[in-house]
Amino acid sequence: MAQTLARIPGLVAERQQLRLEKIGVIAGFLLGLALAVGLVGAGLAELGVPAWLEFGAIALTVAATTRLGLSTAAALARKLAA
């Protein structure tokens, strides 16, 4: 979490941006986990797909929502800094 998507000049702004990005990553991960286990995992299990494919789809869903959470939080941080 030491890296950020964009640099905003100023120590306070950087701290706020990192805080928002951390919250975005955590929220995206938790949302993705619930979505993956609830909808994706259950849907693929009903279809009878192999376990390795189900695991890959769950991992991809969690990764995508985590990245979406980071991007959303970074955009919000830039808007708040402007």
* pTM recorded for the entire structure: 0.80
Residue 12, pLDDT > 80, answer no
Where residue 77 falls among pLDDT bands split at 50, 70, 90?
confident
Which pair of tokens denotes residue 73? Answer: 């939080």
Q: So where are the chain's domains? A: 12-81
> What CA–CA distance (Å, rounded) separates 58 from 41?
6
Is the CB of residue 16 less than 8 Å from the CB of residue 76? no
Q: What's the residue count for the chain?
A: 82
- What pLDDT, on a 0 to 100 scale, did the predictor assign at position 71? 94
Nearest partner of 20 among 76, 58, 59, 82, judged by Cα: 76
Flag whether pLDDT at 6 surpasses 90: no
Residue 36 · residue 49 · CB < 8 Å: no
